Structure 1
Amino acid sequence: MKTLVFLLLPLFTLSEVLNDFTQCSQYFLDDTAPVFKAPTGVSVKHICQCLWDEDDNKKFLYATLYSTTWKIPIYSAYWFGKESTGRCDVWYIEPQLDGENEPCMRPKGSKIKNNQAVSSDYKNSGYDKGHVYPVMHTYNHLAMLATSTLTNAAPQKSKFNKEDWKEHEKAVIKDLASCKKAYVVAGVAPDTTAAKVNNKITVSKFFWRATCCLNSNDVYIGKAYFGPNNNDKVEEKTVQELETLLKSYYEIKIFPSIPKKSKIPRNANPCN
């Protein structure tokens, strides 16, 4: 069955819906995922996003914590990439989130409706499908393809998506270009008071991003960014300031681990 799908759709997207991020922990600083506490009544799923490559090998490409209650990602974690890639907006869904016994994502599914968004939900909604892990931060062609999954997207005002947030994504590229390694966690905060998209998808109150860069002096440096989903300007913050801001929506410690390779005292967290 896997071979047939591969022949019909080369580089067909796959994800693993799991109880933790063990299979894709390499995308977190020191293999340690953020410490996250969901609000009461909010369910989340751990997704290791991956693809079958041309040799039919499974390649994990990033990690996503997804809320089946809000039907948007809480965050996606990834390595910052410097490669310039093209773009392919074939949007996929995750069958496993709705109980189907199929590991591979696919473009559509008749039973996909209860626990995740689908492309038709966004039609005439006034919102774009806003990438959390953006195409321009990907490090190879497979990663680029894997970003266009609805488990990595949240409702984003079109003007904000195409202007201020896009300029922010470009600025991050310049900021991280000289890093030996850069870990990024990017997500959204839910606006639970706003009308849902298609009476189903929780609107994003704001988009956020936190970066942890290992520079040429082997020192880790952390930064954070906050962008209201109403066309306001993107603000730079410390990671701690961002975590404090997020407490109104959920509790998260974005970089909970002290990096092993860092020229600072071990009792301080350089990316916080």
Structure 2
Amino acid sequence: MKHLVFLLLPLFTLSEVVDDFSKCNQFFFNFKPPIFTPANGNKVQHICQCLWNDKKEPIFLYATLYSTTWKIPVYSAYVFGSPNIGRCDAWYIEPQLDGKTKPNCMQPKGYVRTIGTNQALKSDYEDSGFDKGHLYPVLHTNNHLSMLATSTLTNAAPQDPDFNQGSWLQHERAVIKDLQSCDKAYVVTGVVPDLDHEKIYDKITVSKYYWRATYCQKGNQLDVLKGYYGPDNNGKVQQITIEELEEWLKKLKEPITIKIFPTRKRQRE
């Protein structure tokens, strides 16, 4: 797979809360984001996750649709990269989710009293019994900037530690092997909220399921699409077609109506 290489210049981190994904639509197949229909009063925000270099030029790295109702992301979309170069868990929050006039740079903590009204903070996970589960995982990044940008709380949801460090981690590693031979691969990873579970500190919605959709392009061959979700009844990750994934999401107790790759035409799943 061909990859872009970024120079490691002095950087300021930021995520831009926007009205749509037009500034970062390169992370979606055919530049078209999933068609998502919010339900039950769920309020969402579009976030173009990016970094600024020392010239104050934005480098967009992925996109996130964030639920300020659930205080967790609905999905993150990215272009797959491998191999990963390491990990640094310096967790950030997004001030603009709690006020458009606030700084648009990711901040290391919610030091302002009003920060945290519409989003999770690092302190919300302390002694919760849940991991901060990445949607765009560090393992699927191939440069320093993308790696750093994944560790924002707008890209994470409360995840069962056994599943996060077990079946889901094995799945993320299997996806690497599956997509490494693609010329380009688009990935959308999302969560399903567990509305029957008591919220963490009466604030953060726990994720019941994680799901992932991959779109592999390889030369003149047919595009290859695959869907995944977990945990199943045995705690495993199941592989299904994109159509099956969309139908499964629609039939849940908290229905998620989404067309993940709305412009897909031909496929081999």
TM-score normalized by the length of structure 1: 0.89
Question: Which residue does 1:166 correspond to in 2?
Answer: 169
- Note the C-alpha offset of 1:231: 7.0
Partner amino acid, structure 2, of 1:31: F
- Note the C-alpha offset of 1:228: 2.0
- Residue 232 to residue 80, structure 1, CA distance change in 2 (3 Å): same
1:116 partnered with 2:119: yes
- Note the C-alpha offset of 1:207: 0.3
Partner Cα separation in structure 2 for residue 160 and residue 29 of structure 1 = 29
Equivalent position to 2:260, from 244, 247, 254:
254
- Note the C-alpha offset of 1:84: 2.4
* Contact 2:232 2:238 survives alignment (8 Å): no
1:105 partnered with 2:102: no
Partner amino acid, structure 1, of 2:129: G
Unmatched segments (≥5 aa) in structure 2: 1-9
Offset from partner CA, 1:122-164 (integer Å, 9 cap, x none): 0000000000000010131101100000000000011111111
Question: Which residue does 1:34 correspond to in 2?
Answer: 34
- Residue 200 to residue 184, structure 1, CA distance change in 2 (3 Å): same
Query: For 1:51-130, what aligned pairs fall within 5 Å after superposition?
Result: 51-99=51-99, 100-109=101-110, 110=112, 111-130=114-133
- Residue 48 to residue 271, structure 1, CA distance change in 2 (3 Å): farther
Partner Cα separation in structure 2 for residue 231 and residue 66 of structure 1 = 29
Secondary structure in 2 matching 1:91: coil
Secondary structure in 1 matching 2:93: coil
Partner Cα separation in structure 1 for residue 12 and residue 165 of structure 2 = 27
Secondary structure in 2 matching 1:40: coil
Partner amino acid, structure 2, of 1:102: P
- Note the C-alpha offset of 1:12: 2.9
Partner Cα separation in structure 2 for residue 95 and residue 230 of structure 1 = 38
Partner Cα separation in structure 1 for residue 207 and residue 200 of structure 2 = 10
- Note the C-alpha offset of 1:54: 4.7
* Contact 1:25 1:31 survives alignment (8 Å): yes
Equivalent position to 1:135, from 135, 138, 155:
138
Question: Which residue does 2:179 correspond to in 1?
Answer: 176
- Note the C-alpha offset of 1:53: 2.7
Q: Aligned pair count?
A: 254
Partner amino acid, structure 1, of 2:86: G
Runs of 4+ deviating beyond 4 Å: none
Partner amino acid, structure 2, of 1:107: P
- Residue 230 to residue 118, structure 1, CA distance change in 2 (3 Å): farther
TM-score normalized by the length of structure 2: 0.90
- Residue 124 to residue 176, structure 1, CA distance change in 2 (3 Å): same
Partner Cα separation in structure 2 for residue 114 and residue 172 of structure 1 = 35
Partner Cα separation in structure 2 for residue 269 and residue 198 of structure 1 = 46
Partner Cα separation in structure 1 for residue 229 and residue 256 of structure 2 = 15
Partner amino acid, structure 1, of 2:51: L
Partner Cα separation in structure 2 for residue 25 and residue 51 of structure 1 = 16
- Residue 190 to residue 229, structure 1, CA distance change in 2 (3 Å): farther
Query: For 1:183-202, what aligned pairs fall within 5 Å after superposition?
Result: 183-202=186-205
1:22 partnered with 2:22: yes
Identical-residue share of aligned pairs (%): 59
Question: Which residue does 2:243 correspond to in 1?
Answer: 240
Partner amino acid, structure 1, of 2:267: P
* Contact 2:230 2:236 survives alignment (8 Å): yes
- Note the C-alpha offset of 1:34: 0.3
Partner Cα separation in structure 1 for residue 233 and residue 55 of structure 2 = 44
After superposing the two structures, state which structure 1 stretch, 10-19 or 92-101, moved more: 10-19
- Note the C-alpha offset of 1:55: 4.5
Offset from partner CA, 1:34-55 (integer Å, 9 cap, x none): 0000103110000000011355
Question: Which residue does 2:267 correspond to in 1?
Answer: 270
Partner amino acid, structure 1, of 2:93: I
- Note the C-alpha offset of 1:86: 1.0
